[in-house]
Structure 1
Amino acid sequence: MVREFYRRFRRGPARMELGPSPSPTPPISRNKEKAPLAMRLLEQSGSINPQLGSPIFSNLPREIRELIWRFCLTRYEDLDSLYPIESRFSRPGRSAPLRTALDLLLTCQAIYVEAFLVPFEVNPFVVHDGDRQDLPPLGSSHQCIPGDLGRYEKLKPWQLAHISSVEMTVQQFQLEGGSVERVSRLVGALGRHKGYESRGFTLQGSAHFVPPRSNADGHSEAQNGGDRLSSSQNLLVGRKITSLTIRMLRTDWWAWTSSPQEGSENPKERLRLEPMVNTTANNLYLAMTRGYEARKEGAEPDFGLDGFEQEGRWGTQIIEYWPDLATLELVLETFACKESQLDYVVECAKLWTFPMEDGYHLVYEGLESSRWLGAESYGYEEGNSWIGEENKHQNGKRNGTVALWRPNSDGDDGSPQEFIMKTLRYQRKRKERKL
């Protein structure tokens, strides 16, 4: 049954080929290929006031102004509109809607032509491939759900092309069932790697990238920017995806409903994660430990997988479908009473490596840990009585400082639950040769 589900999952329309061959369904909204306003302004010589009366333009070099635009246009939490603390999606970094100060682009044409691409360059494309109850309200074109085209079709091809980072929230069964590949196709990571042009999205929900057009001389029109934006620059050429964040929330694990006691007695009931297996592998619950023991000895584990079981391993999907990554982050969250289980997952994950092209690997670089207090109840405690009994905040009995993540304490009274979040960072480095 698991194999049949997995086959149907991977047969989905998101597996269409990238490249010059025509799509079986034409991309949507072809009129969105029209050049952005900034390019039309640049084509009108002398139409933009240089704003020399402003110290921003008269005293600051372009490089400093670009730092200002990047700072101002990075997303932020709108703390005047806090989510209810009992919402399952409310947590540090997501305590309120994420906004971008786009009004900056309306101040004058001089700022607009310098900064109109920045919101897409500095903010990640956010994909939620998990439980809908953990999904915050989506109001930004930077956020989407796979298969829900209406969430992200607002992006014009040139806007899609300038995204260079992706953040995905995913349930474990989705992660081990092909989500890393699906999200890669959603943003067109391989088309970007080849230097292709964005044509928006297909009706099936995948980014559509094609080889750059050629001019009459047969030369590509694609250009690599330079210090200043020019009216002839091809904005449709996709930026490479260099940063990927994979986030698993506390209810995304296979064994999230198992109590700490059950986990101590039965390895099937513990938190576990291994990049080189998928949902169809036998003895999946033992794979993490077997992989850890092999890697401690300097070897890559052999799980004895058949050809079908080797498909869909999320570790190999990172290698195959995200070839330009410079950084990978794994954000893992669980209940505070399961902290020891998560600690073991982290120790195993420190030995993971993801080989890339040209002798480079994504290797473990560092760890950040935080603990935070939430609401007294989220509704999923019914049928999981251990949560109410064991996951309450213990007033300093657990090690570590509790993060202050809300500007006030409204709704925080009573017996709040306590959670742990650990972020592992992997960096692209050339593999050292053994002497």
Structure 2
Amino acid sequence: MAEPNLSPACFTEYNEQTQSSLFSLLPPEIRYEIFAYALTSAPDTRQRPERDGYCTRPGYETPHRTYTELLQTCRKVYMEAWFMPFICSEHAFWMASSERVPERIITVEKMQQCLDLIHDRHGEVQGGHIRVFPQLWCLEGTKDFNGIFAMRHFYPKSVTITIRYTDTWYWESNDELHIEGEWGRWLVLPSSVTRFCIDIESIERRKDEVDYIAGEMADRWRFQRADGTNMVAARADTSVSRWTGSSMLGGERWVRDEEAPGQLRYYFATITWRPSQEPLDDQGLNPPLEVDWIRPSIPDLGCNYIEEADLDRLGISMTVPAEQAVAEYIADRDRRRDVVEQTVRQVLPFVQGYEALALRTPTARPRPSDYDLDEEVQVLIWHNWV
């Protein structure tokens, strides 16, 4: 299949639209703001919002869409604004395992094609916002950031790295929040960047950890641009936000962290770095940050999560409180275990008899899988037999 032609239409003739006040009265700077507002991407309202999953968050409930109808009104508008859907939108990159990435994403290779086209027609065009969603294991193991910041003709004004709750180390085990800083020494921001942000997210009950890490970042972390300019943050420039999302993550309902039935309450801090003439001290720059105090214990419900398949089988809806959902799940698990153990006691003597027979004959040793048995029964037989 042939690659799509990304080159813009080039009209040799078009109406100057002098009769239109948009072109005859408004200066280009005002038209730019109008066009930017109309051509900036936004969540696609035609699609049903995704409530569950790792990638769902404010502003990313559905894939983004750019409404380009404005470019179809006349050639004059098109020639002046064809590149703006690209320049004015937020472009998201993902540094994560495949199950943590949306189906449709922009790649460095595809974006480079667009950057080359815009540069060929318009030269250096600054603008746009880049957001990177990295899992910490990927962020802390990189030196090239998957080529994101090495693209040619790349002049974003704003860059944000968003570290989600489920991107942190061992969140499944409720480990303390910690992040290495070595990757920050490898990060060289484009010279056009005037605002660099890091979002640190966790759940509401762990907001003290977020506040501590965010404060330490603002005080002790620095970054650099390609032109050598230092980027410095201040605690006073740090903001906090909250949002509520589904507790269903990766096919598992995380009852341990629920604030309300089927819901997680997220808390995140945004640290902002801006250009500064302040010199950097390389000693102790971007040290690793870790929560080192004894944290309050959390209630033991009996399990941290329940798989979606078990919820469906038991008819437990997302509106059922966590304690009740866990109680029903554990009761069912215990009943199933009793049935399995009883079945094993009945079947095991026959299997052992076949084993004794196999030792006296040249036939292959039978396996539990040779019988029409439940998978759980097979597992328990193996534990007693092998």
Shorter chain as denominator, the TM-score bin is 0.5 to 0.7
Q: In the alignment, what sits opposite 1:315?
A: 184
Describe the SS at the equivalent of 1:254.
coil
TM-score (norm 2): 0.62
Query: Does residue 335 in structure 1 map to residue 203 in structure 2?
Result: yes
Change (3 A) 1:98 1:354: same
Per-residue CA distance 1:27-76 (angstroms, 9 max, x = gap): x97x969x632xx32xx3xx211122222122212111111011111111
**1:126–1:168 CA contact under 8 A, matched in 2:** yes
Pairwise CA distance, 1:97: 2.0
Query: Does residue 253 in structure 1 map to residue 121 in structure 2?
Result: no
Matches of residues 10-409 of structure 1 in structure 2 within 5 Å?
36-37=8-9, 40-41=10-11, 44=12, 47-138=13-104, 143-145=105-107, 155=114, 157-159=116-118, 165-178=129-142, 181-183=144-146, 185-186=147-148, 188-189=150-151, 192=152, 238-259=153-174, 269-276=175-182, 314-319=183-188, 322-351=190-219, 352-356=221-225, 360-365=229-234, 366-379=237-250, 381=252, 387-389=254-256, 391-393=257-259
Q: In the alignment, what sits opposite 2:382?
A: none
Change (3 A) 1:112 1:271: same
Change (3 A) 1:363 1:160: same
Partner amino acid for 2:150?
A: G
Change (3 A) 1:102 1:172: same
**2:8–2:82 CA contact under 8 A, matched in 1:** no
In 2: Cα distance, 1:325 partner to 1:252 partner:
25
Change (3 A) 1:186 1:354: closer
Describe the SS at the equivalent of 2:171.
coil
**Which one has a larger percent helix, Structure 1 or Structure 2?**
2
Percent of residue pairs bearing the same amino acid type: 23
In 1: Cα distance, 2:277 partner to 2:231 partner:
9
Pairwise CA distance, 1:249: 1.6
Cα RMSD after superposing both structures:
3.2
Partner amino acid for 1:188?
A: A
In 1: Cα distance, 2:15 partner to 2:248 partner:
56
Mean Cα displacement is larger for which, 72-81 or 110-119? 72-81
In 1: Cα distance, 2:225 partner to 2:114 partner:
30
Pairwise CA distance, 1:137: 3.4
In 2: Cα distance, 1:56 partner to 1:333 partner:
44
In 1: Cα distance, 2:77 partner to 2:23 partner:
9
Pairwise CA distance, 1:392: 2.0
Describe the SS at the equivalent of 1:94.
coil
Per-residue CA distance 1:66-119 (angstroms, 9 max, x = gap): 110111111112234232312332211111221111121111001011101212
In 2: Cα distance, 1:36 partner to 1:423 partner:
37
Change (3 A) 1:32 1:318: same
Change (3 A) 1:154 1:340: same
How many residues in Structure 1 have an aligned counterpart in Structure 2? 272
**1:121–1:164 CA contact under 8 A, matched in 2:** yes
**257, 265, 287: which one pairs with 1:418?**
265
Pairwise CA distance, 1:173: 0.9
Specify the structure having the higher radius of gyration (Cα). Answer: 2
Change (3 A) 1:187 1:358: closer
Change (3 A) 1:375 1:359: closer
Structure 2 gaps of 5+ residues are 282-386
Pairwise CA distance, 1:426: 0.9
**1:250–1:334 CA contact under 8 A, matched in 2:** yes
In 2: Cα distance, 1:258 partner to 1:350 partner:
27
TM-score (norm 1): 0.55
Structure 1 gaps of 5+ residues are 1-27, 193-237, 260-268, 277-313, 395-413
In 2: Cα distance, 1:114 partner to 1:160 partner:
14
**2:191–2:227 CA contact under 8 A, matched in 1:** no
